[in-house]
Amino acid sequence: MSVNLDTEVLLRLISQLQIRGGAQDLSSAINSAIELWMREQAKLSKGSDPASVRGYQWKTLFLPEGTELRSWSYGEYNYARVIGDEIIHKGKAVSPNQFAQSFARSTRNAWEDVRVRRPDDKQFKQASLLRQELAKQQAQPQTAVAAAPAALSESAILALLAALQVQTQAHAAAPATATPRNPSPGEGWDLPERRKFRYRLEDVAY
């Protein structure tokens, strides 16, 4: 099995892993990039083009068509739905803030008050939490994996990974080793005039 990868992109990925430090796992980085792309594609309707996807853009948070909005007020839930490019509540187009305020007698923060359930979500989630998750995702470096004529086999990828690990280890300074002691006697130590100053350690009195 072989994987078609652009050599330049792969080298940039290796360089990025070196900059980030930590565990240098090339396979995991490639898998993460592919999974990120697949998640983005899953958000789109089947057979649709990203440019033609409809929905409501709430600041940084995009609510695709079919998204449900829910607000709690005076013991009951109130609902709105994204239809086309608008949020519709009781037949009228409203903003998230207008929807949050429509049942309240006091000022409300729509990010904290409104719960959202997008078409692929299993349950409602607070809008502010979705915004925080999106900000974290955008802060993480994203590496694109592109197809190219050059084919890299699994063995070549493993070789590149091994070279990366060796290069990373080379940056760490090797601990200094102590110079071994030379037990041989110095020059002239065995001369007759010096032998009289030599004593055995057990003969020395303390």
Q: Which of 36-40, 69-73, 125-129, 179-183 has the lowest mean pLDDT?
A: 179-183
Q: How confident is the model at residue 139 (pLDDT cuts 50, 70, 90)?
A: confident
Q: Which tokens in the block code for residue 102?
A: 């429509």
Arithmetic mean of pLDDT, 148-160? 53
Phi and psi of 83, rounded to 5°?
-125, 120
pLDDT at residue 26, as a whole number: 74
Residue 109 has pLDDT above 60, yes or no: yes
> 0.75 exceeded by the pTM?
no
Stronger pLDDT, 118 or 196, i.e. the higher one: 118
pLDDT at residue 146, as a whole number: 42
pLDDT at residue 144, as a whole number: 43
